[in-house]
């Protein structure tokens, strides 16, 4: 029976040397396309599988095939070719992949299968405790202490009580003594002019401010004090803080951030250490006043910067030092520091709490002492609790440097501002310093006298500069135990107080200090102490030290 078949049009049939044309059609269609004959007289029984390259057909072999039939044939051919090509690519990728890659993929597949078929948690056997067992467990449980245990004889828990102003003569525990412990260098704490200025301010403004500088805590007397400090230090601008410790501790993290580098002296005071900790910068400690060691660290950093210049361009470098070190009484070698600053492109932060109002012809500190241009120092910080006999601190420098602290200095932004009466007292103290510049020479001479008188004490050695108003007495030989050293020195302090000489030990937070200084007795000199009192103090310390240490 004859069956009607549509005419084949428009298909190009490429020929092969060994067989019929491969078009992706059935053999009957191929035969009909060639000669238009019967389906039974068509081509071979088995045709090779279609391939993607056979879709394109030369024009000279075209026959007439309906359009729909032609498109369906092309779609089937391309689908079969795509499936074969994906499989070929997968097999080829497996052959080309490295062994470790295949092993890792196999492990991941096994791990995923394990997660799919394993339980997410294991049910543990539950054992209900009786009420008696629960009570026994509660009684046996001991919580960790909130704070570490402290002995009752710790000095911090057995402090001395002062009655009256801690000026030249101080009453401690009901006993009057000559004060060699307070940082009242210029004797302004009990000065009548300073007290009168504070009293007038108290009547005008009241006691406190009850607000930070940015929230109705800025008084006109604050601006006057900042202006006076800037003019006194010969800088463009100054900023005051209400707490001396927070001054440098707030200034450092206002500029130095994570990723910046700070080179700091090993003997830096605790306020500097807290500022560095808050900054989260990379800290590099150099030996005390050892400029060779500092330059070694700077050179090492320079080599690191050359390896990664892109990072070096955004990394800031700071050198943080003290004018006169609180923990040692020694002065920093500022001229050499300035040379290293310009050589290695670093910034210098100078903490002058002990040197402000002490060193220099006019009491301007280490820069005046060495004759260095104050513009060579990027930031100067000092507290007003020593020479000015007030409370708080200040920073001074260029305007753009100081203004940054008004936005980023934590102690400035979040603490209540300095009480106006203390600002007025500091202004009057500056007036006295400017009116009597000879007071600094008097202080320096008295420091040299007692420093010389204390030389050669058996068992003790003097640590600090001869012109420093605060220096230390260390044990020549340690007992090997810090606790025993502290007790020996405290015994010297107690016996001196019994003889009306008020001294104190230098106090440290042992577990918090980065580089814990050795125990020492701190001796503080003021302009109010007479020559006889200086000689008496030196003689008393010698006698007591010999009695305790020998």
Rounded to an integer, what is the distance from CA 69 to the centroid of its chain? 78
Residue-level pLDDT at 530: 94
Beta-strand pair 393-397/237-241: antiparallel
**Confidence at residue 36, expressed as pLDDT on a 0 to 100 scale:** 44
CA atoms within 13 A on the CB side of 399: 3
Which pLDDT belongs to residue 79? 64
* CA pair distance 231, 228, nearest whole angstrom: 5
Written as six digits, the tokens of 253 are 């993290």
pLDDT at 101: 78
CB 167 within 8 A of CB 176: no
pLDDT of residue 145: 85
Helix axes 420-435, 192-205, angle to 10 degrees: 150
- Output the pLDDT for position 60: 46
Dihedral angle sign, alpha carbons of residues 80, 83, 89, 91: negative
Tokens of 382: 């000092």
Q: What is the DSSP string of 228-255?
A: HHHHHHT-SEEEEES-HHHHHHHHHHHH
pLDDT at 127: 62
Return the CATH architecture of domain 155-184+438-549.
Alpha-Beta Complex (3.90)
Beta 175-179 vs 169-172: how paired, if at all?
antiparallel
Q: At what angle do helices 531-549 and 482-498 cross, to 10 degrees?
A: 130
Q: What letter would DSSP give residue 469?
A: S
Looking at residue 29, what is its pLDDT? 39
- d(C-alpha 412, C-alpha 239), whole Å: 9
| Backbone angles phi and psi of 264, in degrees to 5 | -130, 145
Is 319 within 8 Å of 263 (Cβ atoms)? yes
Which residues 6+ apart lie within 8 Å of 442 measured at CB?
527
pLDDT by residue (tens digit) across 296-328?
Answer: 999 999 999 999 999 999 999 999 999 999 999
- The alpha helices in 41-156, defined as continuous H runs, are 67-96, 99-117, 131-140
CATH 3.40.640.10 at 192-435, yes or no: yes
Cβ atoms within 10 Å of 278's Cβ, excluding its own: 15
Give the closest residue to 354 by CA, choosing from 464, 228, 470, 445. 470
Backbone φ, ψ for residue 63 (5° rounding): -135, 165
CA angle 241, 247, 253 (to 5 degrees): 125
Query: What tokens appear for 235 in the block?
Result: 């800088």
For 55, residues 6+ apart whose C-beta sits below 8 A from its C-beta are 24, 74, 77, 78, 81
Q: How far apart are CA 454 and CA 458, in angstroms?
A: 10
Q: Cα separation of 191 and 91, whole Å?
A: 96
Residue 294 has which token pair?
A: 């500092």
Tell me the CA distances in angstroms from 479 to 219, 467, 511, one per residue in order.
Answer: 54, 30, 20
With beta carbons less than 8 A apart as the criterion, state whether 346 and 365 touch: no
Q: Where are the domains of the chain?
A: 155-184+438-549, 192-435
Q: What does the DSSP 8-state code read for residue 98?
A: -
Q: Is residue 297 exposed (0-12), middle (13-18) or buried (19+ Cβ within 10 Å)?
A: middle
Report the candidate in 479, 469, 550, 548 with the shortest Cα–Cα distance to residue 518.
Answer: 479
H-helix or E-strand containing 393?
Answer: strand 393-397
So what's the pLDDT on residue 17?
A: 39
Q: What is the pLDDT of residue 143?
A: 86
What backbone torsions phi and psi does residue 285 show, to the nearest 5 degrees?
-100, 130
Which of 385, 384, 421 is closest to 195 using CA atoms?
A: 421
| CA dist., res. 389 & res. 357, Å (int) | 11
The model's pTM: 0.74
pLDDT tens string, the chain, 550 residues long: the values are: 444 444 444 434 444 434 444 444 444 434 444 444 444 434 444 455 555 444 454 544 444 455 665 666 676 677 666 667 677 777 777 777 788 777 888 899 898 988 888 766 555 555 678 888 888 888 888 888 888 888 887 777 888 899 988 888 999 999 999 999 999 999 999 999 999 999 999 999 999 999 999 889 999 999 999 999 999 999 999 999 999 999 999 999 999 999 999 999 999 999 999 999 999 999 999 999 999 999 999 999 999 999 999 999 999 999 999 999 999 999 999 999 999 999 999 999 999 999 999 999 999 999 999 999 999 999 999 999 999 999 999 999 999 999 999 999 999 999 999 999 999 999 999 999 999 999 999 999 999 999 999 998 989 999 999 999 999 999 999 999 998 999 999 999 999 999 999 999 999 988 889 899 999 999 999 999 999 999 999 999 999 999 999 8
For 521-540, the pLDDT digits (tens) are 999 999 999 999 999 999 99
Q: Please tell me the distance from the alpha carbon of residue 77 to that of residue 81, in angstroms, as a whole number.
A: 6
């Amino acid at each position: 029976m004859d069956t009607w078949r549509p005419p084949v049009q428009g298909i190009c049939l490429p020929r092969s040397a060994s067989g019929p044309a491969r078009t992706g059609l059935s053999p009957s269609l191929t035969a009909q396309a060639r000669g238009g004959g019967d389906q039974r007289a068509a081509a071979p029984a088995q045709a090779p599988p279609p391939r993607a390259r056979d879709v394109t057909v030369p024009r000279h072999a075209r026959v007439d095939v309906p359009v729909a039939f032609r498109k369906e044939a092309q779609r089937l051919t391309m689908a079969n070719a795509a499936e074969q090509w994906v499989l070929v690519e997968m097999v080829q990728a497996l052959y080309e992949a490295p062994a470790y890659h295949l092993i890792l993929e196999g492990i991941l597949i096994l791990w995923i299968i394990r997660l799919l078929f394993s339980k997410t948690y294991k049910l543990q056997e539950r054992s209900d405790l009786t009420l008696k067992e629960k009570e026994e467990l509660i009684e046996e449980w001991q919580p960790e202490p909130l704070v570490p245990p402290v002995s009752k004889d710790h000095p911090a828990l057995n402090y001395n009580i002062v009655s009256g102003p801690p000026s030249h003569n101080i009453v401690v525990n009901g006993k009057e003594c000559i004060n060699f412990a307070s940082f009242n260098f210029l004797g302004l704490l009990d000065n009548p002019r300073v007290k009168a200025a504070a009293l007038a301010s108290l009547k005008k403004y009241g006691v406190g401010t009850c607000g930070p500088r940015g929230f109705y805590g800025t008084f006109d007397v604050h601006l006057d004090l900042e202006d006076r400090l800037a003019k006194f230090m010969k800088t463009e601008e100054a900023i005051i803080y209400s707490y001396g410790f927070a001054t440098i501790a707030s200034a450092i993290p206002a500029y130095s951030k994570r990723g910046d580098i700070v080179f700091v002296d090993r003997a830096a005071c605790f306020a500097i250490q807290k500022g560095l900790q808050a900054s989260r910068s990379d800290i590099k400690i150099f030996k005390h006043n050892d400029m060779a060691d500092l330059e070694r660290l700077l050179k090492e950093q320079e080599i690191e910067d050359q390896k990664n210049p892109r990072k070096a361009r955004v990394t800031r470098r700071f050198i943080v030092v003290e004018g006169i070190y609180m923990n040692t009484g020694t002065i920093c070698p500022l001229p050499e520091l300035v040379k290293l600053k310009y050589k290695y492109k670093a910034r210098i932060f100078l903490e002058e709490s002990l040197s402000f109002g002490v060193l220099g012809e006019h009491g301007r500190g280490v820069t005046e002492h060495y004759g260095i241009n104050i513009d060579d120092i990027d930031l100067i910080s000092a507290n007003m609790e020593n020479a000015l006999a007030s409370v708080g601190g200040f920073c001074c420098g260029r305007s753009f440097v100081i203004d940054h602290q008004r936005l980023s200095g934590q102690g400035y932004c979040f603490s209540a501002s300095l009480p106006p009466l203390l600002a007025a007292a500091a202004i009057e103290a500056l007036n006295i310093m400017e009116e009597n510049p000879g007071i600094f020479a008097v202080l320096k001479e008295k420091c040299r006298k007692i420093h010389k008188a204390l030389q050669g004490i058996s068992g003790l050695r003097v640590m600090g500069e001869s012109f420093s108003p605060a220096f230390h007495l260390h044990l020549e030989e340690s007992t090997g135990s810090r606790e025993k050293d502290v007790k020996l020195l405290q015994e010297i302090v107690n016996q001196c107080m019994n003889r009306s000489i008020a001294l104190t030990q230098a106090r440290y937070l042992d577990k918090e200090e980065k580089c814990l200084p050795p125990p020492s007795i701190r001796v503080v000199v003021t302009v109010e102490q007479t020559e006889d009192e200086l000689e008496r103090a030196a003689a008393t310390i010698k006698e007591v030290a010999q009695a305790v240490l020998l």
